[in-house]
Structure 1
Amino acid sequence: MLKDKSNLWVVATFFLLAVSVIASGVSFYLYQRANAFETLYQHALEDLGRIGIKVDILFKFENGTKRWYNDTYVASGWTLLNLTTSISRGDIKYSTMYGSAFVTEIFGVAGSGNEAWMWWKFNQGSGSWELGEVGAGDYVLRDGDIVAWYFEDVSSWPPLPP
């Protein structure tokens, strides 16, 4: 009887030892794979930095809600209209006049009366917001740009910055 119990403990010990070795091996393998994927991810970011740019965009709604999309990578040559269309997943309406796009609705929020979507660019040199001088389809984004869409009352000019 004693021999059967000692055999059981020996078998249980070897079983637990085998499970521990297998678990350690799997953990080591997964750790190596995670490191490899991290390296691939960093290389992809470096490559993206060479062919694209990084921008920040803010959507400020009438009720004060702010939606930031920071460190957004886009292709070089993209316009503010391209970025807005991409971020909003196509939930945007605009009209074209004189070759420029005038945005009338973003995320289902449409201008009416004295309210409209205006775009702004943050001037990092002066530390202040500047009203967009061209249509969203004409403004070509640059690396590091901070831009904002502000839904606001335009009955007085110039409108207030975000």
Structure 2
Amino acid sequence: MFLVSINKNQILLLVLLIWALIATSIASYLYLENQSLSRELSVIGNKYVRVNIGIVYGNGTRTWYNGTLLPRGATALTALVTVARVEYKLGSWGAYVTSVNGVQENIISKSEGYSWMWYRYDPNKGELVPGEVASDKYKLADGDVIVWSYEHWKF
């Protein structure tokens, strides 16, 4: 009978070899998956924009929809319609939002009321600025922050 003498060092070496093969296989698999996902994300990046959308209801309630994926070419109005129930009117100036999630515009008189306004975050100024055009005319860029706010106005 032939006896093979195996010492502790040989067993340890065998275990380390098996571990190295398994670890290398897993690392290779994860690397290939990462490359595949990176290619998919670059394709998505060409077709979509990711924006953050805030809704301020004027009563202390604020809702955020961060990382919202929208088709490239979407507008500030598209962003709102994607995350909320919205009513609006179309005119020669563009879209005018009259209700968001059931919170209706409230015109008290010709010189006072509550209406929906939209803002975008300007990274150069470090603050929200009023939308420069009607919400259906402003094309979103990747990373935009849009805030819709229910506000009191008075002349």
* Same-fold call, TM cutoff 0.5: yes
Tell me which residue corresponds to 1:154.
153
Scaled by the length of structure 1, the TM-score of the pair is 0.67
Instruction: Report deviation, 1:44.
Output: 3.6
Question: Which of 80, 84, 96 is the equivalent residue of 1:102?
Answer: 96
Which has the larger strand fraction? 2
User: What percent identity do the matched residue pairs reach?
Assistant: 28
What secondary structure, in the 3-state scheme, does the structure 2 residue paired with 1:86 have?
Answer: helix
Instruction: Letter of the 2:77 partner, please give it.
Output: L
Quote the Cα distance in structure 2 between the aligned partners of 1:66 and 1:42: 34
- Aligned residue for 1:77, secondary structure, equals coil
Scaled by the length of structure 2, the TM-score of the pair is: 0.70
Q: Which residue of 2 aligns with 1:132?
A: 131
1:54 aligns with 2:50: yes
Match of 1:79 among 75, 78, 98: 75
* Counterparts of 1:67 and 1:41, CA distance in 2: 30
Which structure's residues are more often helix, by fraction? Answer: 1
Aligned AA for 1:72?
Answer: T
Number of aligned residues: 123
Deviation at 1:47, TM superposition (A): 2.2
CA distance in structure 2 between the partners assigned to 1:76 and 1:155 by the alignment: 37
Structure 2 gap ranges (5+): 1-25, 108-112
The question of 1:93 aligning with 2:93 is answered no
Unmatched tracts of structure 1, length 5 or more? 1-30, 157-162
After TM superposition, give the deviation of residue 45 of structure 1 in Å: 3.1
Instruction: Describe the SS at the equivalent of 2:137.
Output: coil
Distance, in Å, in 1 between the alignment partners of 2:65 and 2:33 is 25
Q: Secondary structure at the match of 2:60?
A: coil
Q: 1:46: Cα distance to partner?
A: 3.2
CA distance, structure 2, for counterparts of residue 154 and residue 49 of structure 1: 39
